[in-house]
Amino acid sequence: MNGPRSWTVELPAGMKLLNANQRAHWRIRSERTRALREQAYARAMLLEIPALRRAHIVGEYRPPDRRRRDVANLYPSFKACIDGLVDARVLPDDDDTHLVGPDMRLGEHVVSGQLVLHITELPEVAR
């Protein structure tokens, strides 16, 4: 028997991220949000991820060094990427009926740092 379908969306290493602890100017936040959203959209389209009714997403952060991290602070970056997946029509919406997650995890170190989304299709829930 086949398991659930899954895809891995790797954003380009070295992208500027959003951190919940930052107090950046609104224009900087807006530029970073747009860049993350557009990259997630473009990568999803490139991978030809089909339209899913429900999915579980694990957001993996591959840091540029081995310092201690609180990966939950990167939630705004993952949220922007998920919005890009909705733009690409991978999910109809990012509400609780269509999305479980993002569950954030710390991955292995990558020289410039990188965000990765692991998408797993879930069965529809009967209402």
How far apart are the C-alpha atoms of 74 and 50, rounded to whole Å? 26
Q: Does residue 102 have a cis peptide bond before it, meaning omega lies within 30 degrees of 0?
A: yes
Residue 126 has pLDDT above 90, yes or no: no
Q: Is 21 exposed, middle or buried (0-12, 13-18, 19+ CB in 10 A)?
A: exposed
Q: Enter the CATH code of domain 10-121.
A: 3.30.1330.70
pLDDT of residue 1: 53
pLDDT tens readout for residues 31-88: 999 999 999 999 999 999 999 999 999 999 999 999 999 999 999 999 999 999 999 9
Contact 102, 58 (CB under 8 A): yes
Q: CA–CA separation, 23 vs 102, rounded Å?
A: 23
Query: Are 19 and 76 within 8 A, CB to CB?
Result: yes
For the chain, the maximum distance between any two Cα atoms, rounded to a whole number of angstroms, is 51
Query: Which tens digits make up the pLDDT trace of 99-123?
Result: 999 999 999 999 999 999 999 999 9
Tell me what percent of the residues of the chain surpass a pLDDT of 90.
86
pLDDT tens figures, 3-46: 799 999 999 999 999 998 888 889 999 999 999 999 999 999 99
